[in-house]
Amino acid sequence: MNQDIIFHNLEKLYKNTPETELNPNDRVVIFSDLHLGNGGERDDFRKNAKLFTTVVREYYLRNQFKMILNGDIEELQKFNYAKIRSSWKHVYALFDRLKQETGLYRIVGNHDWELFSMHHLNENLRSAIKYKYNGNEIFLFHGHQAVEFFEKHYLLSKIFVRYITKPLRIKNISTAYNSKRKFKVEKNAYLFSSRKKIVSIIGHTHRPLFESLSKTDYLKFTIEQLIRQYPKAKPGRKKSIERKIKRLKRELDYHYLKNQQSNLNNSLYNSQLAIPCVFNSGTVIGKRGITSLEIANERIYLVHWFHPRKSRKYLEYTERSPERLGNTPYFRLVLKQDPLDYVFARIKLLT
């Protein structure tokens, strides 16, 4: 019954979202979950603020990317909007530059949903964006719509966070910090998208997804691919494959342990073949950097931006080399990429 309500809400959102053409030469970057606060020690954005603004200014603006901010840009459950604007003037100035020079589009999430009631804002706020690409559809929404009655509980959640958990410094209890809730959001988005034969791009859970694969699923897939390459590899290549498999196996064991502690099934969708219909841009407030999704050159990319001091292991990434961003201390690493036509072909053939 709950799932029927969720699918009804998603279908309504999908039908009410106007369609825009995505051209082959368009460049789009998608960020979500900035959670801009008051600039103080309880502001989650603060730790990656310099990284984010440098990346946007020195890479995405210079390379003429349009930007989509896919929800939870302000943390309005904890902080006052005027205080947030005052604390991060240079970030909003950067958004204004993007709006004027390349294009900036804002989708509202559950932590900044209150913006819809602020009629004085000169913002073109959206609930979702729908792109048409080569006869296929890409549907962008924050992701909180994949749970039941989020509007009903918004005010109660805001009061609880602002006046109870924040003053008492209780750990965040939102979906992003709850593995079971993440699972539910991702699974509902997955089931809806596979039925519609579309690509959905969400945020909300703070967990990057590429082609519906979680980190655990991706690690298993990569290990299997390396094992297939191993028998025919030359001796030097075999040693390299052995080292990679050992490293990935350690990482997989760690993620299995985390899932067991959360009482989660390790298979995200309980299907033999995952339909590549759900992508997630992750978050800007990650411990080891920020993630984004890029659409450019008729491909889709999952990108990790980081400072080596926080993500040393990514400098030794063997599949692809990270690239330094000009004279800055920051690096860009493409974690995964695929042609969009290939993604849609798999969706068509596997559903």
DSSP secondary structure, 179-245, as one string: HHHHHHHHHHHHHHHHHHT-EEEE-SS---BBTTB-HHHHHHHHHHHHHHHGGGS-HHHHHHHHHHH
The superfamily (CATH) of domain 2-214+274-350 is Metallo-dependent phosphatases (3.60.21.10)
Q: For the purposes of burial, counting CB atoms within 10 Å of the CB of 172, is it exposed (0-12), middle (13-18) or buried (19 or more)?
A: middle
Q: What is the pLDDT of residue 266?
A: 46
Question: Sign (positive/negative) of CA torsion 285, 216, 254, 294?
Answer: negative
The C-alpha atoms of residue 73 and residue 162 are separated, in whole angstroms, by 17
CB-based contact 113:155 (threshold 8 Å): no
b (16+ CB within 10 A) / e for 137-149: bbbbbbbbbbbee
Helices (H), 74-178: 81-87, 89-101, 150-160
Helices (H), the chain: 2-15, 49-55, 81-87, 89-101, 150-160, 179-196, 215-229, 235-261, 340-350
Q: How far is CA 137 from CA 22, 43, 133, 208, 340, in A?
A: 9, 36, 6, 20, 11
The C-alpha atoms of residue 238 and residue 326 are separated, in whole angstroms, by 35
Q: What is the pLDDT of residue 159?
A: 47
CB-based contact 26:74 (threshold 8 Å): no
Q: What is the pLDDT of residue 37?
A: 97
**What average pLDDT values come out for the chain (351 residues) when binned by 10 residues?**
81 96 96 97 96 98 98 94 97 97 96 86 88 97 80 49 50 54 85 95 94 76 83 90 89 72 48 82 96 97 92 62 94 94 93 81
Reduce the DSSP state of residue 73 to 3 states and report it. Answer: coil
The residue with tokens 């003053």 is: 167
CA 316 remoteness from chain centre? 24
The C-alpha atoms of residue 212 and residue 276 are separated, in whole angstroms, by 5
The C-alpha atoms of residue 287 and residue 100 are separated, in whole angstroms, by 31
Structure token digits, residue 309: 């001091």
Domain ranges of the chain: 2-214+274-350, 216-267
CB-based contact 184:267 (threshold 8 Å): no
Which one, of 226, 231, 181, 225, lies nearest residue 207 by Cα?
181
